[in-house]
Amino acid sequence: MPPSPTGSFHVGTVRTMFFNWLYARHTGGRVVLRFEDTDRARSTEDAIAQAEDVLNWLGIDWDDGPHRQTQRLDLYAKAAADLVERGAAYPCYCTTEELAAERERRRAAGLPLVYSGRCRGLSADERAEREAAGLASVIRLAMPTEGTTAITDVVRGHVEWENALQGDHVIFRSDGTPTYLFANPFDDIAMGVTHVIRGEDLLSSTPRQLAVYAALAAEPPTYAHLPMVLGTDRKKLSKRHGAVSVEEFRDRGVIAPALLNYLALVGWSYDDHTTVMSVDELKERFSLERVNASPGVFDAEKLEWLNGEHLRALPPEEFTAILQGYLKDRGSPLAARPERIAEVAPIVQEKLRTLGQFEGFAGFLFGPAEIDPDAWARVEADSAAARSLAAARDALAGVGEWRAEPIQAALAAACEREGLKPRVLYMPVRVAITGRTVAPGLYESLELLGREESLARIDAALGRLGAPASSCKPR
């Protein structure tokens, strides 16, 4: 994987890594973790540490590594020098300006924009001359100039390229670091990589890498090019599409198994109807053959739905533990009361789509309810509100044992007495208690709040309405 220079772990990267992991785990293979950090911007300790942290959170493990390409620089240098010696690669002294001008000419002439190979034919003397003049050089791979290169991609089938259209690509920069084109196949050979499962954006670079395999006299791997993950505008998924990093989803309370389940489904399917799957199930069912070739749009809404499904499928104790951990990790003030969270968790488990909704949804059980203006507006607009509140207050005051069932019975009786439908009578009570119109079950909420606090909140609402029940007469 490439560590991200911006420090955020893109979900597209996760999808690729996860497919690799699934394939290895399904087939009993080995997972090699290698950070492709030859690009200097990507080569920071932070980026590496953060990547490992995210991988751990996701539960994606590895058997070998992590390797870092920046720590293998001498290996690449030696191999490249070897290639030059054998004539499979050569130094190129062209400047960026010269190359740009050349490209411009070719563009104008309608030719493919590949390097002309100008430095390829340099004699030993000519090279020595340029070296003596202190010219900077890169190393280019001498590509075959005729014929074709083909692969049988597991996802796409037969794909073929014209060798003459490839151009001699740079495998070593003038600063002495290798490019992806070289370091990647070199390491894959060194590390015994048999399957290269990666994004479609890398498909076009395959013939160039195959040339490295050939130059190194190594057997090429099996390739599987995964379809791209796109944003809603069908462009490559990026920040302007909203949340795209694993950290962002983790922050808003998406759990790893749900993210992975969702990601598995963009570009792959098990059959014509199975959607919700655990990581174990995915591992058992995954196959490269069922990966499809067309790009998919990332649908955050479906991810949230799926997250809700995974949350609900959790054993209650586990849900509680995860919720406690989540609130603690993100520094929520509610985290200070883990036992309270444990009490509240059962009544919200079937309602949440993300853990991040918990504070807004159940915060009223941890302290004073914040009355939502829209919810309150609905109470004020309700001519029966005061009557409902007063009736509920009476009923609740008379409840014997303060538990959900007796509370329910008492409220039902109040509805009966007042001749009000439950939905009508409960609405203002719900707002008074929770501050919102959308909340956990009312009876359970009342039970958890306690009688005293419940009555106090109803009184407060009555007061805020500005009219005790007795003076609320029609004008």
Partner RNA sequence: GCCGCAUUCGUCUAGGGGCCUAGGACGCCGCCCUCUCACGGCGGUAACACCGGUUCGAAUCCGGUAUGCGGUACCA
Footprint on residues 159-178 left by RNA (CB under 7 A):
159-162, 165, 167, 169-170, 173-175, 177
User: Nearer to RNA by C-beta: 275 or 467?
Assistant: 275
Closest contact distance (angstroms) between CB of 95 and RNA is: 6
For the bound state, the minimum distance from the C-beta of residue 229 to RNA, rounded and expressed in Å, comes to 8
Residue 239 appears among annotated catalytic residues: yes
Q: Write out the binding residues for RNA, residues 116-145 only, by CB under 7 A.
A: 136, 138
* Minimum distance from residue 105 beta carbon to RNA (Å): 12
Residue 192 beta carbon to RNA: minimum distance, rounded to whole angstroms: 19
* Residue 351 near RNA by CB under 7 A: yes
Pick from 19, 115, 249, 319: which binds RNA (CB under 7 A)? 115
| Closest to RNA by CB, 85 or 272 | 272
If we measure between CA atoms, which residue out of 368, 340, 398 comes closest to residue 460?
368
Instruction: Please tell me whether residue 461 binds RNA under the rule CB under 7 A.
Output: no
For RNA, what does the binding mask look like between residues 388 and 417, x meaning CB under 7 A? --------------------x---------
236 in contact with RNA (CB under 7 A): yes
Choosing from 78, 239, 302, 421, the catalytic residue is 239
Q: Is 6 exposed, middle or buried (0-12, 13-18, 19+ CB in 10 A)?
A: exposed
Does the protein bind RNA through residue 235 (CB under 7 A)? yes
In the complex with RNA, the residue whose CB is nearer, 220 or 422, is 422
Of the pair 67, 169, the CB lying nearest RNA is at: 169
CB of 99 to RNA, least distance (A): 6
Q: Restricting to residues 353-372, which ones interact with RNA according to CB under 7 A?
A: 353
CA–CA separation, 162 vs 145, rounded Å? 9
The residues that bridge with 67 in the sheet, in sequence order, are 34
Q: Which span (19-27, 48-56, 91-99, 216-224) binds RNA, by CB under 7 A? A: 91-99
Give me the least distance between CB of 25 and RNA, in Å please.
21
Q: How far apart are CB 333 and RNA at their closest, in Å?
A: 23
Q: How many residues does the chain have?
A: 475
Instruction: Please identify, using beta-carbon distances, which residue of 25 and 444 lies nearer to RNA.
Output: 444
44 in contact with RNA (CB under 7 A): no
The residue to which tokens 């997972």 are assigned: 31
* Residue 230 within binding range of RNA, rule CB under 7 A: yes
Q: Which of 152, 275, 278, 287 binds RNA (CB under 7 A)?
A: 275
Residues 291-310 that bind RNA (CB under 7 A): 292-297, 299, 301-302, 305, 308-309
Residues 428-447 that bind RNA (CB under 7 A): 430, 437-443
Candidates 33, 80, 212, 265: give the one binding RNA (CB under 7 A).
Answer: 265
**Closest separation in Å from C-beta 331 to RNA:** 26
Is the separation of the CB atoms in 397 and 455 below 8 Å? yes
Q: How far is the CB of 419 from RNA (least distance, A)?
A: 12
205 to 224: interface string for RNA, x by CB under 7 A:
x-------------------
**Tokens representing residue 137 in the block:** 């050089």
Of residues 308-347, which lie at the interface with RNA (CB under 7 A)?
308-309, 312
The residue from 49, 101, 113, 377 that contacts RNA (CB under 7 A) is 113
Q: Tokens representing 270?
A: 């098990």
Q: Does 290 bind RNA (CB under 7 A)?
A: yes
Spatial neighbors of 320 by CB under 8 A, at least 6 apart, are: 341, 342, 345, 346
**What is the identity of the amino acid at 13?**
T
149 binds RNA (CB under 7 A): no
By CB under 7 A, residue 157 contacts RNA: yes
Please work out the total of residues on this chain that contact RNA, with binding judged by CB under 7 A: 91
Active-site amino acid positions: 239
